[in-house]
Chain A
């Protein structure tokens, strides 16, 4: 036994003597994880969160969360002698006086953008492959919570420098609070410690940004990961992969090295972006004052779709009994996003209700094999994308020489017309892909080799596909639609008949499919040849 092995033995012994964890550790250190590039998306989120904690802590050492007015005397000449808040002045100091400060600020901001992209793309992966199905609904809901909090956290973060752009964003947030019926103006005054902008919001959102929300994030991320661990990761279908097993590599050493290495890669790439790609150059915007604004004011991308929604809202405001309701703010600012996030969080439950499928699923779906789900996803993405485009309508209009009115009308109509169109097209595409899969299994791969038959006929040679490929293309289940009765034995309408009817219809739509190829069909075709 070498000295090193002895030490390892001693450490293991020390831990086990005090916790009795040997059995647990043995099982978990060799835990198997399936391999797929798309499983890295969640890891990107986790690692950028760690980067955010590290770089954020660095920034807190110099940032002064105060709206006390100071006169800038730092080294950035264009702003010297200007009155500004201590928050803005200290952010300028981080950028110009602290060595590596600008790098850290840029790493922090880039990591936040990567965090949000990671969450959205990870969510798309989970959605389109059906990974949210039983038993993982809870983790889906936690994920939607993390997405929502991420948007809020990001918004508060880029508001902290108290520059002209971020102050404008805060002003808009205040207008949304103020628009709430009955309690709006009270809530706004409580939030801002009086009239806008006041002197309270920077220290307040600082506490929320660096303490409250990161704490909630840590708790939710911990539960999210523990559930992934405990429930074991889903895997893509393929030869040898079943609902009852996990095929992959053990945690120790392969995944420790790969995942640990990937953390450094994500950090390295973020540092590279921080080094070469300028982001949020606050010194160009100047200090915040409510009487000014810069043209082309844009929020960060994950807020952009909400801003676009607000921009395209029709100008409706009603006054009843002397009280004002601003529909032009409430609908795009609160009601529509509220509906969207609620529907997103409830989707796993809605789908299982509609299909009647209450079984556990550990094998992922190929998106084409769940055409309705894929089409709904495409529809939601199209809606968000049109909103996002409209969030940059001024920039797009000036870049492409359009008028702002053309952009706005495109969005106003597009946001209603394009999502259903995306639904129909996506569903058709999925079914076409299923048909292509079926043809591939039954008739084999087109080789591109033409042969002339003795009778002069030309045919293309088809090569049979491998057994693995044939299994991959046919291993999915095709569920029959629900057939819930709406009449009882005596022909009388049952209570809940309408509900059953709706459920039958949705379930029929969910079950739309091109019948998958079977071995029987293959044999029959062989007989013909």
Chain B
């Protein structure tokens, strides 16, 4: 074939170019000195570290541009360590690059595939081994072994059963009951309606007996935000309106999306925003989701006042608080 396409050919490895240190003893000696200097610098770094550890007090701060106010002890330790380690590395690499042989070496590769003969032998060995065990000829052994192995997997799973209790009703209930007083967090002071001005927000928790300990588990379910608006600003149905008291409305502070604390309240727009994933709830419309990934409003806590004029819960939350779970039905 005369018109066969001719490809461009591999010119082969280019000729080796020697470094200065290979041919010039002066350059080699200079490189050696440079490597040694780096190692000495490293040693100095260690000296800085030891000195800082032993002699620099931990409460000395001084100003460095860019870094700002910096702790001398911490900076001395860190920089000493950094210099000590970095210079060892730089020295080793400089040594390798200037003084160790730099002629490229060619090694051959071989295909991983074995000779056909060896492969056939290998397959034969496996087959012979399997035949010798006779698993195929003894279905009874095969099946009972399979069943036994399968069943034995139950034990580790079962033994992990005590990792935790079953959820029971815990995801659906909180500490709020009819008549539970709302107390400030922090401070544990009961609140009267007049403690909250229009536009104010308060974080509250259910009142506990003096000396009783409040667990994080409880806070994770019980946290409530109180917000006071002018009653005419609400856009609620009659039932929801009856859950408010003189413009004070109470919502679960635990986000209905993934359980973060819905901590940001915008007074102008009357929106609550969760800082984790930006679900936004409209306070005037019973915490309806107006933006973001949450699919449900924040549960509302019906409130009123007790005989002494303190804010209390009329009833528990209208639905389970916090993120969704399989068994929640609303």
* Residues of A participating in the B interface, judged by any CB pair closer than 8 Å: 30-32, 99-100, 102-103, 106, 135, 168, 171-172, 174-176, 178-186, 188-198, 200, 231-232, 239-240, 242-250, 253-254, 257-258, 260-269, 271-272, 274-276, 288-297, 307, 310-317, 319, 322-326, 328-329, 332, 360, 362, 393-394, 404-405, 408, 441, 467-468, 470-471, 474-475, 517-520, 522-523
**A262 — nearest CB in chain B belongs to which residue?**
B89
Of B103-111, B116-124, B134-142, the one contacting chain A is B103-111
Most chain A CB atoms below 10 A, which of B10, B102, B254 = B10
**B223 — nearest CB in chain A belongs to which residue?**
A291
CB < 8 Å neighbour of B277 from A183, A231, A268, A310: A310
Chain A min CB distance to B44 (Å): 14
Residues of A within 8 A of B95 (CB): 257, 261
Residues of B within 8 A of A297 (CB): 260, 275-276
Residues of A within 8 A of B92 (CB): 257-258, 260-261, 264
CB < 8 Å neighbour of B109 from A175, A180, A183, A362: A362
CB < 8 Å neighbour of B260 from A253, A266, A293, A316: A293
Contact A246 B106 (CB under 8 A): yes
A408-B216 Cα distance, complex, nearest whole Å: 32
Contact B323 A178 (CB under 8 A): yes
Contact B264 A295 (CB under 8 A): yes
Contact B85 A268 (CB under 8 A): yes
Known: A168-B260, A257-B100, A313-B293. A291 touches B79 (CB 8 A): no
**B254 — nearest CB in chain A belongs to which residue?**
A290
| B60 on the A face (CB < 8 A) | no
Contact B261 A292 (CB under 8 A): yes
Contact A179 B96 (CB under 8 A): no
A185-B291 Cα distance, complex, nearest whole Å: 27
Contact B93 A196 (CB under 8 A): no
A253-B99 Cα distance, complex, nearest whole Å: 11
Contact A319 B329 (CB under 8 A): yes
Contact A261 B88 (CB under 8 A): yes
Contact A311 B109 (CB under 8 A): no
* Residues of B participating in the A interface, judged by any CB pair closer than 8 Å: 5-14, 53, 58, 67, 70, 73-75, 77-79, 81-93, 95-97, 100-102, 104-109, 111-112, 160-161, 163-167, 170-171, 185, 203, 205, 216-217, 219-221, 223, 253-254, 257-261, 263-264, 273, 275-279, 289, 291-296, 322-330
A294-B273 Cα distance, complex, nearest whole Å: 12
A442-B8 Cα distance, complex, nearest whole Å: 11
Contact B326 A185 (CB under 8 A): yes
Contact A174 B259 (CB under 8 A): yes
Residues of A within 8 A of B291 (CB): 404-405, 408
Chain A min CB distance to B58 (Å): 7
Contact B9 A244 (CB under 8 A): no
A168-B100 Cα distance, complex, nearest whole Å: 53
Known: A196-B217, A249-B105, A293-B263. A326 touches B277 (CB 8 A): no
Chain B min CB distance to A70 (Å): 14
Residues of B within 8 A of A250 (CB): 105
Contact A246 B107 (CB under 8 A): yes
Chain A min CB distance to B40 (Å): 15
Residues of B within 8 A of A257 (CB): 92-93, 95-96, 100
CB < 8 Å neighbour of A185 from B10, B97, B106, B327: B327
Contact A239 B12 (CB under 8 A): yes
**A193 — nearest CB in chain B belongs to which residue?**
B164
